[in-house]
Structure 1
């Protein structure tokens, strides 16, 4: 099994070192790490290359476009997706691979996330509680037969993704939509052991806007999330 990890990145020179360190520390090492530079004005591409990533360039803005370019150029038969401001736990890829082998016919898998502490916004206790809450949410959704994939922590068969047309080119919710499309081809599973820690920087505007964004996402909105 050949693994490509694909990371979209726009002006992420400060967050990439921690992410790439976490990927290099995996107990099951990735066969390929791709950083897709999505029109950065900082040293994102240079930092990624210096830390061992294969760098692709996607000048047209949009995280879905960056993810799609990574999918199209990846060498792996399985793609693991995460974000530049995230840090997978050491067993992340091993848990994903184990999950694929456990259930023949799996085409996609996804796992829980927990916020990283952020000074002035999220302390250690708040970070842990965010992880508990998200695990409960994902567990309930999985029990209801409604997988909720997130681009910061999901994996899928490259062949299957290409068969359904890849990442939908929308402003947001491309991860959920891809997961729904992949269900037509096979099993999409929630793996509690495949965990990722992710930045709480979106909380800088407060909990209200943060929660409203997620409510809109759950309601199916694919645009209107970012200032233009």
Structure 2
């Protein structure tokens, strides 16, 4: 298989066991699972190593971790998978089938936000809708050229060589690292969200409440849109 699953982490010991079990059931299996850690102070690295994953370290920051991981990846295709996102068993086949179309430069799964209380349908629908409305509002000229904004909990995937050719993620971005990548890769081909679901933890919604969480998602997106990158991270605190 030609797919690297790249998992950027920071203190994810609580989320990793479920992800490890899920990835162990993938059929077919990926070429490799590559965890890129940003300086965890818990058992994240030990858990990943015990699972047989390849582990690298990088400066803290998802953009920097993703860039380093893609540079070191062995697969032709790379999928960025967050530690709290559970993919379907046929994930690898979906990635390979989608990227067999040379017109597609970047794709993702469709996220469903859920937790012990069930599916958070309001946020799930908002996540789906902002793929379209965010670029339409903030970059209408690019929207007309086919730009769509995918986000981390979408489990984005792409060709390694094309990622490197466009310069990868913007290194200084602590959040919204996916947005610039969507714009860059849209210059090379289509951006597509496939109709195959991944399940992402609702831990932020559980911590903040649905209204606050969706307001934060919207606010951070607007800060990115108006070039106020230095303010994004302070409005998007870590939740583990």
The reply to whether TM is greater than 0.5 is yes
Q: Match for residue 93 of structure 2?
A: 94
Name the residue aligned to 1:160. 162
Cα distance in structure 1, aligned partners of 2:64 and 2:44: 17
Q: Which residue matches 2:35?
A: 35
Map of 1:170-189 to 2, 5 A cutoff?
170-189=173-192
CA contact 2:147–2:191 (8 Å) conserved in 1: no
Counterpart of 1:80?
79
> Once superposed, what is the RMSD of the aligned Cα atoms?
2.3
Shift of 1:77: 1.1
Q: Check the 8 A contact 1:113/1:131 in 2, yes or no.
A: yes
Q: CA deviation at 1:156?
A: 0.6
Structure 2 counterpart of 1:127? 120
- Asked if structure 2 preserves the Cα contact closer than 8 Å seen for 1:172 and 1:225, the reply is no
Give TM-score scaled by structure 1 length: 0.86
- Per-residue deviation at 1:214? 1.2
Answer whether contact 2:132 2:148 (CA < 8 A) is retained.
no
Equivalent position of 1:151 in the other structure? 152
Report the 3-state secondary structure (helix = DSSP H, G, I; strand = E; otherwise coil) of the residue aligned with 1:30.
coil
TM-aligned CA deviation for residue 7 of structure 1: 0.5
Structure having the higher helix fraction is 2
TM-aligned CA distance change 1:112 to 1:64, over 3 Å: same
Deviation at 1:127, TM superposition (A): 3.3
Counterpart of 2:109? 111
| Distance in 1, Cα, partners of 2:121 & 2:222 | 26
Whole-Å separation in 1 of the counterparts to 2:13 and 2:23: 16
3-state SS, counterpart of residue 94 of structure 1: helix
CA-CA distance at 1:69 after TM superposition: 1.2
Of stretches 212-221 and 197-206 in structure 1, the one that deviates more from structure 2 is 212-221
Between the aligned partners of 1:142 and 1:26, the Cα distance in structure 2 is 33
TM-score, scaled relative to structure 2 = 0.82
Q: Secondary structure at the match of 2:6?
A: strand
Task: Report which stretch shifted further, 210-219 or 153-162.
Answer: 210-219
CA contact 2:8–2:83 (8 Å) conserved in 1: yes
Unmatched runs of 5 consecutive residues or more in structure 1: none
Query: Relative to structure 2, which stretch is displaced further, 83-92 or 134-143?
Result: 134-143
Q: Is the 8 A contact 2:3 2:78 kept in 1?
A: yes
In the other structure, the counterpart of 1:202 is 204
